[in-house]
A and B are shown apart, each in its own frame.
Chain A
Amino acid sequence: MNDLERMKSGLMEAEGAKEFVTFYIGDQLFGIHVLQVQDILSNVRTTRIPLAPPEITGSLNLRGRIVTAINVRLRIGLPPLEGAQSGMSIVVDHHGELYSLMVDSVGEVMPLQSEDFERSPPTISPRLKEYSEGIYRLKDRLLVVLNIERLLDFGRASAA
């Protein structure tokens, strides 16, 4: 478990820049705004929730609070990872409820300049387009910013 407080306080946001917690799913780099992130966990044991949608991995106990674990891979429409999972997950707060987003691996906290931001190209997969806010052009790669609000809106997804 990383010390998130240190991460948050140590990295004051510069003008025009936002802090993102980055993570990988496959080869793709993703980012979540740092203020939405509560915690980073590794190797957690989850309890399966029967009858729940497949992307809901289960629930876990984070310091006395019950957190619902969601497999981001399945959520954005990718096949489950072959072999062992790293078990890394990012805990986010969504309307007072905690959700643990299971990812392949967690990267670092990165300040990103707003001039590098642009909207997602219309050609990416519809599922990903639904859940992404836009793209940051980094020097060597592209980072997809996830929209937590939409990612966790299961009511809308099932209605659609």
Chain B
Amino acid sequence: MDELLQEFLTETNEGLGYLDVELVKLEQNPNDPDILSNIFRLMHTIKGTCGFLGLPRLEAVAHAGENVLGKVRDGDVEVTPGLVSIVLECLDRIRLILGALEETEAEPVGDDSELIARLETVAEGWDAEQLTQPVASDALETGSDAPSEEAASVPTAEDSAADETVSEVDPEQADEDVPVELAEIEATEENIVEMVQPGEEVVAVVSNDGAGGGQPPAPEMEAGDQGQPRESSVANQSIRVNVELLENLMTMVSELVLNRNQLLQILRTHKDSDFAAPLQRLNHVVSELQEGVMKTRMQPIGNAWAKLPRIVRDLSQDMHKKIDLQMKGADTELDRQVLELIKDPLTHMVRNSADHGLETTEGRRAAGKPETGTIVLNAYHEGGHIIIQITDDGRGLNTDKIKEKALANGLTTEAELANMNEQQIMQFIFKPGFSTAQEVTSVSGRGVGMDVVRSNIEKIGGNVELTSKYGKGTSFTIKIPLTLAIVSALIVESASERFAIPQLAVIELVRASANSDHSIERINDTPVLRLRNRLLPLVNLSELLKLEREDDESEKDQFIVVAKVGTYSFGIIVDRVFDTEEIVVKPVAPILRDITLFSGNTILGDGSVVMILDPNGIAGETGELTVTEGMEGMAEQKAAKSDDTVAMLLFKAGSEAPKAVPLGLVARLEEIDRETIETSGGQPVVQYRGQLMPLITMDSHQALEGTGRQQVLVFTDRNRSMGLVVDSILDIVEEPLNIELGGEHQGYIGSATIAGKATDIIDTGYFLTQAYSDWFQADGKLEGDSASNRILLVDDSPFFRNLLAPLLSSAGYNVTSVEGADAALELCEAGEDFDVILSDIEMPGMSGFEFAAAVRANRWSETPLVALSGHASPNDFARGRAAGFSDYVTKFDRAGLLASLNETLSNMRGAA
């Protein structure tokens, strides 16, 4: 049954019962203005609600009744027993209609004009007693339409009261064993009519009433008995209970659960106890009790959605959009507390979808979409969670706009952006103060952004994920726990203290020891873990909580709890991992509230108190709360890159942690005499091959004074050189390069595992611009006519795109880089033209060879293709040529690449 109608029925039935009592009181004290105004108000409320719900018959009857009462209130009409009984008759009619409404969800057919006419007569001052009423005819009609009680066992949905402090409990909810007459739920109107026992009873009552209409009802008559044709089944099947009472009940049950856990714990140590059987029974009863009480707190998510159709309708009017809001799974239940907390975020997100997400009607037509935009809300259960999806088929997120905005707001840098995939860029919309809406409308963009939405959802242990395709639409997926009161938690130990970590945040457990596959490594002093070819940042729980530990403990095996907050994964180092336990979250004492690392405390099965760690707080403490990485995207990239091996030069500079640079970028390794270092323009320089070569240090405080030899890596571009000062050169290794943890610090592209160690990869581009601020703004004249040459660079690795794009632009080319063959072919379709295409061979999806074949078959067939690859064996060469590549260059062979490009272009021109 419709939620709103349900609520209306419950409320009106309550109101009617109250009215009966009040009317009888009024009859006894005709001049009491308080009673009168009370009655008038109740009647008015009923009338108003009917009108709102579009129930014309009810409204007409209630209006006539209200009219009479209005006259009485104004002193125009005297209160007489006749008047009271006709008003009571009016109430009975309302009840009758309500009864039918409850079963068929529609007003029954019937004519109330006679009753209304009589009410009007009374309102005009005639004494009701003087009236004669041929009531039976229309009442009969009504009666036969109104099914009798027997057909009325429609189970009430677990209703919610709009009122914050009152919720309703459906007795049937608490006890599943009550047989619900399911057949009757499905009963069609005809069925109901058939089931009606010819309405005799109803008619009898009404006729009695009608016949006795002229007589005053006995003053001592009780409200419940008063001519009430039948009891409302809705009213009978749900009772209103104060939420506080429910909360107390919940707390008590939680305590009971804890006590049971304690008893079970004891039982485990005394196997042959006499208590075993009763305890087992107790266990079951308590479990069921817990479940039952939990259910009383459960409400359908539809309650949180109730206002949405109206909001969307108003929006579509205001903004001249056609919007179809579809709601699926509205009866999916979740905890009342959780429901309250997600109401606002949900409303906000739907509003956003309608306002920013969907295009205008014209916009949609232009994009070739149906005029009516669709927003789909979908809720369903999955494990101990409820999943809510909000999907629209609107314009999707424009990553270019997001990039612009992120840069404008100083949230990131160009270099960082270049390293990010689409998914990562989209995450910016969750940053504070971020809105890509062009203008602030009355609807959204009022400063409450997605950041608030996200933090509200994360507060209750949930998370939001976002997928979007530009032009196609956006989809948000919210995952939240069903309840907050009892959670499953992992019990861990650190420095002999136990803590609980909500299971929700835990992804996996890793055992780390010196001689196992996983060992904790350190970058400077920061521990990291290599996990499936990714670097996982770690926090040591004992350090975080400043627990003192005995030294030898750190030597032992350690466990890493891999936790995820939003999209940020990190590991928590603990000494031991125990079991998972169902725990009741209790708030910490007020004096401890400002310790953000704890979300509460709890009593375990053995009776001891443990603190509950808050993964959000820990993530916040490590300063990485806002870092978001598109895990899936990263994984894909790695899978594709893993067979690319790259020669890397490992060196040390500034700090102990090893650093690396692709060997191909280094022109020479030099040792210079420190005494030859001079200063020019505040920068250390050295005379090198007849030129002044600026020297750059990794650490700006690094001193270059003193004597002796200084190791320098020389980077050369055209006729300019730059020296990077390093402490020592460690090694040259050839290994697959998997760059992790996008550059946080200037001068670093990221880190990678090289030669079994976590290594920082330096960003040569950054140091080159340190030496010559205009390094990459080289003028195209040097290379002659190449400025007009446009190059399409296809490489899945952001690292190489980052590396090659500036290199090629510095050589005067106009570079467009894309991350895959698909994107390149899209450009082709879009009508873009290039002079040369440079393509990687090993790429996810379409490989370089396949791409070449595709290019040869389309509009670009004349465009020369140059292959870029880590492998350059004669075989590869031959295969490349066969696929249609005009040349084959190994990655990092910068000179070779530029020469090849030059040659290719001049060949082409020669041919033309």
Chain B residues within 8 Å of A61, by CB: 603, 607-609
| Contacting residues of chain A (83-114) with chain B, CB-CB under 8 angstroms | 95, 97, 99
CA gap between A158 and B521 in the complex, in Å: 39
Residue-by-residue, is B496-509 near A (CB-CB < 8 Å gives 1, otherwise 0)? 01100000000000
Report whether A64 and B259 are in contact in the complex, using a CB–CB cutoff of 8 Å.
Answer: yes
A139 at the interface (CB under 8 A from B): no
B354 to chain A, nearest CB (A): 44
| Contacting residues of chain A (47-68) with chain B, CB-CB under 8 angstroms | 47-53, 56, 58-61, 64, 66, 68
B75 at the interface (CB under 8 A from A): no
Chain B residues within 8 Å of A45, by CB: 608
B592 at the interface (CB under 8 A from A): yes
CA gap between A41 and B827 in the complex, in Å: 78
B263 to chain A, nearest CB (A): 13
Report whether A56 and B497 are in contact in the complex, using a CB–CB cutoff of 8 Å.
Answer: no
A50 to chain B, nearest CB (A): 3
CA gap between A64 and B259 in the complex, in Å: 8
Instruction: Point out which of A49, A50, A59 has the most chain B C-beta atoms below 10 A from its C-beta.
Output: A50
Of chain A, the residue at the smallest CB distance from B251 is: A64
Report whether A64 and B258 are in contact in the complex, using a CB–CB cutoff of 8 Å.
Answer: yes
| Contacting residues of chain A (11-66) with chain B, CB-CB under 8 angstroms | 45-53, 56, 58-61, 64, 66
B247 to chain A, nearest CB (A): 14
Looking at chain B's contact residues, is the secondary structure mostly helix, strand, loop, or mixed?
mixed
B560 at the interface (CB under 8 A from A): no
Chain B residues within 8 Å of A99, by CB: 589
Report whether B591 and A66 are in contact in the complex, using a CB–CB cutoff of 8 Å.
Answer: no
B308 at the interface (CB under 8 A from A): no
CA gap between A97 and B497 in the complex, in Å: 24
Report whether A47 and B611 are in contact in the complex, using a CB–CB cutoff of 8 Å.
Answer: yes
B222 at the interface (CB under 8 A from A): no
B831 at the interface (CB under 8 A from A): no
Q: Which of A51, A60, A152 contacts B545 (CB 8 A)?
A: A51
Residue-by-residue, is B593-619 near A (CB-CB < 8 Å gives 1, otherwise 0)? 001011001110001111100000000
Known: A59-B609, A61-B609, A66-B603. A51 touches B591 (CB 8 A): no
Report whether A49 and B592 are in contact in the complex, using a CB–CB cutoff of 8 Å.
Answer: yes
Report whether B589 and A97 are in contact in the complex, using a CB–CB cutoff of 8 Å.
Answer: yes
B530 at the interface (CB under 8 A from A): no
Size of chain A's interface in residues, with CB distance under 8 A? 23
B546 at the interface (CB under 8 A from A): yes
Q: Which of A48, A53, A66 contacts B497 (CB 8 A)?
A: A48
Of chain B, the residue at the smallest CB distance from A153 is: B591
Report whether B258 and A68 are in contact in the complex, using a CB–CB cutoff of 8 Å.
Answer: no
Known: A97-B589, A99-B589. A50 touches B609 (CB 8 A): no
B581 to chain A, nearest CB (A): 14
Known: A52-B595, A66-B603, A66-B609. A47 touches B497 (CB 8 A): yes
Q: Which of A48, A51, A64 contacts B255 (CB 8 A)?
A: A64
CA gap between A152 and B498 in the complex, in Å: 26
Report whether A97 and B609 are in contact in the complex, using a CB–CB cutoff of 8 Å.
Answer: no
Q: Which of B547, B592, B603 contacts A56 (CB 8 A)?
A: B592
Of chain A, the residue at the smallest CB distance from B258 is: A64
Known: A59-B601, A60-B609, A61-B609. A152 touches B591 (CB 8 A): yes
Known: A47-B497, A51-B597. A56 touches B591 (CB 8 A): yes
Report whether A50 and B603 are in contact in the complex, using a CB–CB cutoff of 8 Å.
Answer: no
B682 at the interface (CB under 8 A from A): no
Of chain A, the residue at the smallest CB distance from B255 is: A64
Report whether B611 and A68 are in contact in the complex, using a CB–CB cutoff of 8 Å.
Answer: no
CA gap between A152 and B259 in the complex, in Å: 29
Report whether A50 and B547 are in contact in the complex, using a CB–CB cutoff of 8 Å.
Answer: yes
Chain A residues within 8 Å of B546, by CB: 50-51
Q: Which of B259, B592, B602, B607 contacts A68 (CB 8 A)?
A: B592
Report whether B597 and A66 are in contact in the complex, using a CB–CB cutoff of 8 Å.
Answer: no
Q: Which of B258, B547, B591, B609 contacts A47 (CB 8 A)?
A: B609
Of chain B, the residue at the smallest CB distance from A98 is: B589
Report whether B611 and A50 are in contact in the complex, using a CB–CB cutoff of 8 Å.
Answer: yes
B605 to chain A, nearest CB (A): 11
B586 at the interface (CB under 8 A from A): yes
Of chain B, the residue at the smallest CB distance from A46 is: B609
| Contacting residues of chain B (511-551) with chain A, CB-CB under 8 angstroms | 545-547
Report whether A64 and B589 are in contact in the complex, using a CB–CB cutoff of 8 Å.
Answer: no
Known: A47-B609, A50-B611, A64-B259. A154 touches B601 (CB 8 A): no
CA gap between A56 and B595 in the complex, in Å: 13
Of chain B, the residue at the smallest CB distance from A58 is: B609
Chain A residues within 8 Å of B597, by CB: 50-51
Of chain B, the residue at the smallest CB distance from A95 is: B590
Known: A47-B609, A50-B497, A50-B547. A97 touches B259 (CB 8 A): no
| Contacting residues of chain B (245-283) with chain A, CB-CB under 8 angstroms | 255, 258-259
Of chain A, the residue at the smallest CB distance from B544 is: A50
Report whether A97 and B608 are in contact in the complex, using a CB–CB cutoff of 8 Å.
Answer: no
Chain B residues within 8 Å of A50, by CB: 497, 545-547, 597, 611
| Contacting residues of chain A (108-160) with chain B, CB-CB under 8 angstroms | 152, 154-155
B504 to chain A, nearest CB (A): 22
Instruction: Point out which of B255, B497, B610, B611 has the most chain A C-beta atoms below 10 A from its C-beta.
Output: B611
B757 to chain A, nearest CB (A): 32
A82 to chain B, nearest CB (A): 20
CA gap between A61 and B608 in the complex, in Å: 6
A60 to chain B, nearest CB (A): 6
CA gap between A17 and B532 in the complex, in Å: 73
A57 to chain B, nearest CB (A): 12
Known: A56-B591, A68-B592, A152-B591. A49 touches B611 (CB 8 A): yes
Chain B residues within 8 Å of A155, by CB: 591
Q: Which of A46, A47, A97 contacts B590 (CB 8 A)?
A: A97
- Seed contacts A51-B597, A97-B590; 12 additional CB < 8 Å A-B pairs: A46-B609, A47-B608, A49-B595, A50-B497, A50-B545, A51-B595, A53-B591, A59-B609, A64-B255, A64-B258, A66-B609, A68-B591
B interface vs A, CB < 8 Å? 255, 258-259, 497-498, 545-547, 586, 589-592, 595, 597-598, 601-603, 607-611
25 contacts between A and B (CB under 8 A): A45-B608, A47-B497, A47-B498, A47-B610, A48-B497, A49-B595, A49-B598, A49-B611, A50-B597, A50-B611, A51-B545, A51-B595, A51-B597, A56-B592, A58-B609, A59-B601, A60-B609, A61-B607, A66-B589, A66-B601, A66-B603, A95-B590, A97-B589, A152-B591, A154-B591
The 7 closest A-B pairs by CB, nearest first: A50-B545, A154-B591, A68-B589, A47-B609, A59-B609, A64-B255, A61-B603
